[in-house]
Chain A
Amino acid sequence: DTAVSQTPKYLVTQMGNDKSIKCEQNLGHDTMYWYKQDSKKFLKIMFSYNNKELIINETVPNRFSPKSPDKAHLNLHINSLELGDSAVYFCASSQGLGLTSGITNEQFFGPGTRLTVL
């Protein structure tokens, strides 16, 4: 009954490979996110989708391509992996865009995918 799930949990791969990470949420939320957490624990947003529409696209290399087949899923595909891509990638979801004053749109995080590029 995990709320936000990610697969795989660990991913070890060689430089230059292409890999995908999958995320699913069963909370009925309409907004999903990808975050990257580096070795110093700094958590930075990469992308956000609302109802399958791209809302936030931070300054991320175009080797990273998110895809949302439906509201409950948000996948991340990474081409030509580089050493600097090694990090923990977190998926999160929330209800709404946080536009209502006084109400936070709590983001629920998945367990993370630890990517190691060799």
Chain B
Amino acid sequence: QKEVEQDPGPLSVPEGAIVSLNCTYSNSAFQYFMWYRQYSRKGPELLMYTYSSGNKEDGRFTAQVDKSSKYISLFIRDSQPSDSATYLCAMRPTGFQKLVFGTGTRLLVSP
């Protein structure tokens, strides 16, 4: 079993929809949780990060961490075609810089 599980998709939604992307993990030592966005043929770029549990909001994006369930989510409100990309979750323990990535979920937002 992989340390981080993520549905590869693709997830197809119409413009304006609310998108929910999720990851589950098995290592209870993970404390830092990140979401990276990767456009086709580009490098990943950090979208959101959360330390420990809780929610974090940034514009149309909300990141949630539920450590009791070992489950993290990224919500995208009012999705746009420009949001079409692969979304990778990543996480690591405190004091250790090695990021463990999910396989990524490919999101397609149609106009």
Which residues of A come within 8 Å of B, CB atoms? Answer: 4, 31, 40-45, 48, 55-56, 90, 92, 94, 96-99, 101-112
A-B pairs with beta carbons under 8 A, tally: 65
Instruction: Tell me whether A31 and B97 are in contact (CB under 8 A).
Output: yes
B88 touches A43 (CB 8 A): yes
| B95 adjacent to chain A (CB < 8 Å) | yes
Chain B interface extent, by class: 20 to 34
Tell me what chain A mostly uses at the interface: helix, strand, loop, or mixed. loop
- Chain B residues proximal to chain A, CB less than 8 Å: 8, 32, 34, 38, 41-46, 49, 51, 86, 88, 92, 94-99, 101, 103-104, 106
Closest to A101 in B: B94
Find out whether the CB atom of B97 lies under 8 angstroms from the CB atom of A4. no
B53 to chain A minimum Cβ distance, whole angstroms, is: 13
Question: When the two chains form their complex, are residues B46 and A98 in contact, meaning their CB atoms are under 8 A apart?
Answer: no
